[in-house]
Amino acid sequence: MMHPQLVLKLGKWLSISLLTIAVLTALIGRYDMAILIVVGLWAAVSYSLPPLQLSYRPFLGEWLSLFPSIFFLGLAGPWMILDAIPLWAVQNAVINALVCMAWVMVHHIPDLEADRMATPIKRTSVVWFANKFGVGYARMPALIYFVMAGFCAIWLLPDRSLAGVILILLFTFALFLVSHINPKDHQQVTKYEKILLLVAIIIAVTLGIF
């Protein structure tokens, strides 16, 4: 409903306000809050705006913008409440970040052709795999990130065995769904995307409880 120039203007003033808050919180010794604000602001600006515009660059968008923001979001609660970062918080944050990245990669699949025709071309990881190996490989980024999350679930087994077992089962189901995605069937992709979002919520709740 708003003109793009108005959105850009609001974004600039919000960014300046957030940076000011980050500086003030650092000056009073709340470095945790300052770091969280800066990471969140970095993620938004680096992902969307030139000159970086990392969402248009394969792998860089998710690893330099998405992952840091989701990871630190997962750390934020324990860090601020406990004034420390326990191992379980790091485990939860890493796994949730990988799951969210995998879901975003599925979300990019229906946008494949639109991203190819964008000016400049939006070379997401999905577009890169499709251009390099064929459209059928558009699901590869999601598969890779779910596999990585699955390996992290093994990390939980020594101390949080129940959480690790539940997560391995959930990741097996997620990998089954993603491997059966037809990138050309947008209705199917959307259906699977909704299921994977529910799986992501169950994973987050499982990590929080166990």
Question: Mind listing the pLDDT tens digit for each residue in 3-52?
Answer: 989 998 999 999 999 999 999 999 999 999 999 999 999 999 999 888 89
Domain that holds residue 134: 86-210
- pLDDT at 170 exceeding the cut of 90: yes
Q: Are residues 62 and 150 in the same domain?
A: no
* Interatomic CA distance for residues 124 and 38, integer angstroms: 24
Q: Are residues 110 and 38 in the same domain?
A: no
Q: Are residues 117 and 129 in the same domain?
A: yes
Q: Which of 85, 117, 138 is the last residue of a domain?
A: 85
Q: What is the pLDDT of residue 174?
A: 96
Q: What is the pLDDT of residue 1?
A: 84
Q: Phi and psi dihedrals of 134, rounded to 5? A: 115, 160
pLDDT mean over 140-156:
95
Q: What is the pLDDT of residue 119?
A: 84
Per-residue pLDDT band for 2 (boundaries 50, 70, 90) equals: confident
Q: Are residues 102 and 115 in the same domain?
A: yes
- Other CB atoms within 10 Å distance of the CB of residue 71: 21
Q: Are residues 128 and 26 in the same domain?
A: no
Q: Are residues 55 and 101 in the same domain?
A: no
Look up tokens 């059928």; give the residue: 136
Beta strands in 5-62 (DSSP E): none
What's the sign of the alpha-carbon dihedral 190, 194, 196, 197?
positive
Would the pTM count as exceeding 0.75? Answer: yes
pLDDT mean over 125-137:
94
pLDDT mean over 142-156:
95
List Cα–Cα distances, 3 to 6, 7, 95, 192, in angstroms.
5, 6, 37, 33
Domain harbouring 187, CATH code? 1.20.120
Q: Which of 38, 59, 85 is the last residue of a domain?
A: 85
Q: Are residues 120 and 207 in the same domain?
A: yes
pLDDT mean over 134-150:
95
Q: Are residues 49 and 122 in the same domain?
A: no
pLDDT (tens digit per residue) in 65-123: 999 999 999 999 999 899 889 999 999 999 999 999 999 999 999 999 999 998 888 99
- pLDDT at 154 exceeding the cut of 90: yes
Q: Are residues 63 and 138 in the same domain?
A: no
pLDDT mean over 141-170:
95
Q: Are residues 8 and 47 in the same domain?
A: yes
